[in-house]
């Protein structure tokens, strides 16, 4: 079973640091390539660029929780939720 995961291309878990402007401030976000790809799918589904989509997510978490403690971790969890929802939706078809 573990070979399913261990045989994944190293490129999938290599990290990429991207500079993004959030609320007028330039910041860097470091995520694994796999998460950048998933964010790209999420953004495309909303008709936005990844940068635009990340800004929307930032604004929404700020409005919901009044602070952003660990935005990179939030983005990873958002990707996991997205994948879970898509898996659940496919199972109910």
pLDDT of residue 51: 97
Evaluate if residue 1 carries a pLDDT over 70: no
CB atoms near residue 6 (< 10 Å): 7
Q: How far apart are CA 68 and CA 74, in angstroms?
A: 9
pLDDT of residue 69: 92
pLDDT of residue 13: 93
Q: How far apart are CA 50 and CA 44, in angstroms?
A: 8
pLDDT in tens, 7-57: 889 999 999 999 999 999 999 999 999 999 999 999 999 999 999 999 999
More confident residue, 90 or 64: 64
Of 3.40.50.1820, 3.40.50.1360, 2.40.50.140, 1.10.3990.20, which CATH number belongs to 2-91?
A: 1.10.3990.20
Evaluate if residue 93 carries a pLDDT over 80: no
Which residue intervals of 1-93 are DSSP H helices?
2-6, 10-13, 33-45, 50-65, 71-91
């Amino acid at each position: 079973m573990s070979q399913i995961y261990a045989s994944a291309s190293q490129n999938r878990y290599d990290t990429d640091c991207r500079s993004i402007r959030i609320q007028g401030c330039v910041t860097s976000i470091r995520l694994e390539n796999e998460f950048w790809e998933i964010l790209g799918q999420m953004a495309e589904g909303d008709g936005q660029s990844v940068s635009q989509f990340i800004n929307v997510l930032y604004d929404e978490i700020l409005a919901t929780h009044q602070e952003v403690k660990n935005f990179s971790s939030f983005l990873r969890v958002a990707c996991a939720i997205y994948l879970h929802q898509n898996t659940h939706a496919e199972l109910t078809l």
